[in-house]
């Protein structure tokens, strides 16, 4: 078995484990993929309680669960990586029957709470938007992966495919609303209408209605979605506004902002992540977009991060490198 450690928090997260699996299938690293998946199933997967069928979002590196709640971005990356593994390497036995594992996971994500099954789904059935967590009444723009949902609509259980097709369309429309009309920035947590979620919840220790760490991934997701499927519901313009608002030629571009672009005087916790994700959004740019080329060049000249916070930055760096080189592929 194997795990990927969040070096900033000294734990293993479904985010990082599923990211690692996606990297492995893209790089044709089956043994490493299987080791990560085996660790995830052994230590993170929950078999009882309201969250049975989901994965605990954080574990100690020794395997003990830090929490018994899931984070939906992990589930959707697990499912997509498993479908790609099935297509690239073929299904095996048990937990290595990748496509079955993916279908079962997606089925749980949208059907928990039905027919006496405990818990709550990870998607809102009325508006088809992914939730910050099961049963939550708000979302996280960086969780919206319409390019994944388009593929889920082809590969999930037959009864679930119509839902995923609708979810892809709903997420593209949501992203267009979530990106600020001037800055192109989106909040970490958002209301269903695309506005920042500024309500204070009991477990929150800091505000999440600003452009900060989670938010960076949204531009990258918009870029890859357009690269794969070429569908623009207005979200591509949001990413373009972000590339224009931030100056790739400035060394100090990385800071924390209100979504209207007002700097809040704090350094970015993950500067390489912001640069990488913004550069990846260039995949949604037109051929004459000089700003997109500037961002790609800025990314290319950035070194990978070292030190305590290298985990998140280098994950986004790796995805951008795959995507911008044409090697983040559908299998």
Query: Out of 6, 15, 188, 209, which one is annotated catalytic?
Result: 15
Q: Are 56 and 46 in contact (CB under 8 A)?
A: yes
Active-site residue flag, 188: no
SS3 content of the chain, % helix, strand, coil (to 5): 50, 10, 45
> Is residue 201 scored above 90 in pLDDT?
no
What's the confidence (pLDDT) of residue 149?
Answer: 99
Which position has the token pair 């795959």? 322
pTM: 0.97
Which position has the token pair 């870029």? 223
pLDDT tens digit string along 170-190?
Answer: 999 999 999 999 999 999 999
Give percent of the chain above pLDDT 70. Answer: 100
DSSP string, 129-187: PBPSSTT-S-EEGGG--HHHHHHHHHHS-GGGHHHHHHHHHHHHHHHHHHS-TTT----
C-alpha closest to that of 81 among 96, 67, 71, 66 = 96
Buried b (16+ CB within 10 A) or exposed e, 201-236: eeeeeebbbbbbbbbbbbbbbbbbbbbbeeeebebb
pLDDT tens digit string along 22-50?
Answer: 999 999 999 999 999 999 999 999 999 99
C-alpha closest to that of 14 among 51, 50, 56 = 56
Confidence of residue 12 (pLDDT cuts 50, 70, 90): very high
Handedness of CA 153, 159, 160, 166 (dihedral sign): positive
Overall size of the chain counted in residues: 331
> CA-to-CA distance for 15 and 23, rounded, in angstroms?
12
Active-site residue flag, 140: no
> CA-to-CA distance for 108 and 211, rounded, in angstroms?
31
Query: Out of 11, 173, 188, 214, which one is annotated catalytic?
Result: 214
Domain boundaries, the chain: 1-99, 123-324
Joined tokens for residue 166 = 């609708």
> CA-to-CA distance for 143 and 67, rounded, in angstroms?
20
Question: Looking at the domain covering 123-324, what would its CATH class be?
Answer: mainly alpha
Q: Are 175 and 141 in contact (CB under 8 A)?
A: yes
pLDDT tens digit string along 126-165?
Answer: 999 999 999 999 999 999 999 999 999 999 999 999 999 9
């Amino acid at each position: 078995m194997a795990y990927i450690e969040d070096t900033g928090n000294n734990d293993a997260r479904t985010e990082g484990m599923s990211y690692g699996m996606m990297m492995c299938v893209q790089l044709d690293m089956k043994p490493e993929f299987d080791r990560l998946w085996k660790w995830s199933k052994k230590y993170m997967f929950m078999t009882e309680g309201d969250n049975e069928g989901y994965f605990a979002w954080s574990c100690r590196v020794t395997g003990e669960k830090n929490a018994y709640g899931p984070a939906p971005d992990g589930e959707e990356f697990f499912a997509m990586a498993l479908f790609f593994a099935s297509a690239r390497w073929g299904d095996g036995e048990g937990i290595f029957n990748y496509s079955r594992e993916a279908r079962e996971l997606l089925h749980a994500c949208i059907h928990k709470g039905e027919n006496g099954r405990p818990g709550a789904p990870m998607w809102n059935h009325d508006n088809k938007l992914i939730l910050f967590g099961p049963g939550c009444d708000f979302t996280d723009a960086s969780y919206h992966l319409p390019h994944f949902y388009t593929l889920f609509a082809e590969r999930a259980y037959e009864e679930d495919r119509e839902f995923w097709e609708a979810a892809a369309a709903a997420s593209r429309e949501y992203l267009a609303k979530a990106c600020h009309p001037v800055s192109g920035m989106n909040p970490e947590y958002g209301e269903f209408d695309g506005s920042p979620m500024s309500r204070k919840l009991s477990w929150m220790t800091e505000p999440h209605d600003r452009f900060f760490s989670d938010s960076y991934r949204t531009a990258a997701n918009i870029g890859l979605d357009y690269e794969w499927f070429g569908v623009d519901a207005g979200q591509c313009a949001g990413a373009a506004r972000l590339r224009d608002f931030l100056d790739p030629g400035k060394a100090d571009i990385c800071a924390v902002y209100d979504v209207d672009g007002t700097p809040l005087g704090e350094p970015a916790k993950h500067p390489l992540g912001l640069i990488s994700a913004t550069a990846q959004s260039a995949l949604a740019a037109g051929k004459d977009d000089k700003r997109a080329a500037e961002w790609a060049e800025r990314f290319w000249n950035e070194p990978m991060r070292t030190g305590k916070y290298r985990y998140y930055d280098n994950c986004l760096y790796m995805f951008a490198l795959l995507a911008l080189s044409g090697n983040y592929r559908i299998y």
